[in-house]
C-alpha cells in the first residue's frame, strides 16, 4: 500500500481498502484482493484504483469536510463512513458516503468533543441530527 500511496500527490489522513463482495455465502480460505483504496485527504474523500499503473485513476467522491480524521467501510463495502473533526468548535461528525454510480454524502451523527479514536457498530440505528 505504501508503494502506491507514496506516488500520489495527496496528503493522506485515513485509508480503507475496498474489496469486491463475495458472490457466495460459503466461507473462503483467502481474502479477496482489494480493488481500490478510499483515502481522506485535505477536505475530500478519494477513491484510488489499484489497477495496473497505466489505468490507475484517482476519483474524488465527496468533499466539504472540515478535517476528515479517517474512513471506514461497512461489511458489504457499499457505504464509507467518514469521521470529520472540527477542532475550533471541538465537535465531530460522522458522514455516510454511499459508493456507486451516484455518490451521496449524508450527515448521520454529530457530537461534542474531540474523540481520539472512534469505533462504531449498528450505524443503521443512528438518525440524522
Alpha carbon distance 120, 113 (integer Å):
16
DSSP of 12-38: EEEEEEE-PPPS-SS--SSPPPP-EEE
**Residue 125: what pLDDT?**
46
**Residue 7: what pLDDT?**
55
**Residue 97: what pLDDT?**
92
Please identify, in words, the CATH class of the domain defined by 2-19+34-114. Answer: mainly beta
User: pTM of the entire structure?
Assistant: 0.72
- Averaged pLDDT, groups of 10, the chain, 129 residues long: 55 70 58 78 84 76 87 83 87 89 88 69 51
**Residue 13: what pLDDT?**
65
Amino acid at each position: 500500500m505504501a508503494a502506491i500511496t507514496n506516488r500520489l500527490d495527496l496528503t493522506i489522513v485515513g485509508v480503507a481498502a475496498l474489496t469486491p463482495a463475495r458472490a457466495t455465502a460459503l466461507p473462503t480460505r483467502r481474502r479477496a484482493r482489494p480493488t481500490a483504496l478510499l483515502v481522506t485527504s485535505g477536505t475530500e474523500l478519494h477513491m484510488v484504483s489499484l489497477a495496473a499503473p497505466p489505468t490507475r485513476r484517482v476519483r474524488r467522491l465527496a468533499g466539504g469536510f472540515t478535517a476528515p480524521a479517517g474512513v471506514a467501510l461497512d461489511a458489504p463495502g457499499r457505504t464509507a463512513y467518514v469521521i470529520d473533526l472540527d477542532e475550533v468548535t471541538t465537535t465531530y461528525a460522522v458522514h455516510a458516503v454511499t459508493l456507486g454510480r451516484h455518490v451521496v454524502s449524508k450527515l448521520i451523527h454529530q457530537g461534542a468533543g474531540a474523540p481520539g479514536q472512534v469505533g462504531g457498530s449498528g450505524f443503521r440505528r443512528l438518525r440524522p441530527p
